[in-house]
Amino acid sequence: MSASPLAGKRIVLGVTGGIAAYKAIEVSRRLVDAGAHVVPIMTDAAQHFVGATTLSALASEPVQTELWNNPTTPIPHTEVGQGADLIIVAPATAKSIAAYRMGYSHDLLQNTLIATRAPVIVCPAMHTEMWEHPSVVDNIATLRARGVHIVEPETGRLAGGDVGAGRLASPETIVAAAERLLGPSDLAGVKVVVSAGGTREPIDAVRVIANRSSGKQGYAIAAEAAARGAQVTLVSTVGLPTPADVQVVAVETAAEMQSAMETAAGDHDVIVMAAAVADFRPSNAASGKIKKHDGVPEITLEPTPDILAALGGSKRAGQVLVGFAAETADLISNAQGKLERKRLDLIVANDVSAPGVGFAHDTNAVTMLRPDAKPVEIDLATKRDVARAVIDAVVDIRSAR
C-alpha cells in the first residue's frame, strides 16, 4: 500500500496573527498524522492568539519565532525555506499576504517565504470587508499569477459574530490541498463517481428501514480521488463534511440512488459503489403516519433494484466499475461471486463482523479482488489508507488497458 504523499515531507507551517490561528494546531496534527515533518513558525502577532508551547507540542519540532538570536540555527532566514518541500501559511492575514507580495522580509516567516523554491499554499483568513478590499484582491491575484496556491476562505461565522466570506478553510481542506500538491496526479482529468452511506426506505411518512453504514469509506474514496486530480461526484445519503473539490448529490432511497448513479454513469470514467443499498423496501409506503392504535402493521417488502449489477450490464468500454462486499461469512467466495455476476473490475471485500472493520469505524481491513490479478489484502488501516489502495488499484486497471 502506498503511503500518504505527505509522509516523510518537510512542511513549514507558518502561522500569522489572526483568530483562526487556533485552527493551525489541527492542521499541524493532521500533517503529522499523515507522516509529515512539520516545522512550525509563528509571527509575533500569532503568539497573541495561541501559545507557541501548544503548537510545539503538536508539531515535529519546537516553534521558531526569531530572525535574530534563533537558538536553532545562525542563518534561519534561508535555512528553513531551503530545506522545505512545502510551505503552508495558515491563517494568512492581510498584512502577511501584503508583505509576501512585496517580498518585504521583516520576520522569519517572510524571509522563509522568499528564500524557498518549494511550493507555497496561502490560506487567507480575515473579515469580509478586508477579504474584498481591492488591495487584498490585488495581492491575492498577484500571488496566484506567481504560482502560489491559494486555499480560499469559506463563508461562515467570523470573529465578533459577523457572518460572511473570510473564515479560514477547514483543516481538512488545507491538508487536502497539500496532498493534491505533493501527491501524484494520476487521475487528472478523470471523472469519478462514488456512492456512499446506507439507503433509507420509507415505511410511512416518518419511519424508514435503514442500515448501519456511516458513509465514511465512500467519503474517503471521494477525497482520495479528488486529491489525485479526479473530478469527483459523490452520491450520498449522509451529511458528513464535503471533501475538498467534490460535488455532492444528496439522495435517500435506493431508487433515488439508482437514478443519480445511472445519470452519472453516462459520462463518468470510474464508478465506485461504496454505498450499502437496501436489498428490500416496503412495497407500499403509507403516505401518512401509521398510528399505533391501529395495531401492529404488516409490512410487505419487495426487492430493490441492484444498481451495481445494472451498471455492470451497461458498462461502457474503458469504464472501471468497483463494488464492495460487506460479509460476515465466506468473505472471499461471496465476493468472488459478486465480482463475476456484476461484471466488476474490482471488488473490495470486508468482513464486517471483525473488530474495527466496516460500518461506522474509522478503520477497515479489506481484500481486493480483480478478475485477472492476485487478491490484495489490506490489514487494519484508516479508511483513507484503504481509499488510497483502492484508487491505486483503479489507476493500475486503467493503465493496463
The one among 30, 101, 338, 388 contacting ligand C5P by CB under 6 A: 338
- Rg (Cα) of the chain, in Å, rounded? 24
Cell of 341: 455476476
271 binds ligand C5P (CB under 6 A): no
385 binds ligand C5P (CB under 6 A): no
The one among 264, 277, 368, 397 contacting ligand C5P by CB under 6 A: 277
Query: 348, 370 in Cβ contact below 8 A?
Result: no
Pairwise CA distance, residues 22 & 89, whole Å: 13
Q: Which is nearer to ligand C5P, 34 or 254 (CB)?
A: 254
Cell of 25: 494546531
Q: Dmax of the chain from CA atoms? A: 83
The one among 13, 178, 275, 349 contacting ligand C5P by CB under 6 A: 275
Cell of 89: 501559511
Pairing of strands 208-209, 201-202: antiparallel
Please state at what angle helix 134-145 crosses helix 94-102, rounded to 10 degrees: 50
* 334 carries an active-site annotation: no
The one among 324, 351, 378, 387 contacting ligand C5P by CB under 6 A: 324
40 forms beta bridges with: 13
Cell of 252: 435517500
349 binds ligand C5P (CB under 6 A): no
Cell of 375: 487478491
The one among 24, 325, 349, 378 contacting ligand C5P by CB under 6 A: 325
Pairing of strands 373-382, 363-370: antiparallel
Least distance between ligand C5P and beta carbon 164 (Å):
40
Active-site residue, from 69, 70, 139, 211: 211
Least distance between ligand C5P and beta carbon 304 (Å):
5
Least distance between ligand C5P and beta carbon 266 (Å):
17
244 binds ligand C5P (CB under 6 A): no
Write out the residues near ligand C5P by the rule CB under 6 A: 254, 273, 275, 277, 279, 304, 306-308, 323-325, 338
Catalytic positions, please? 211
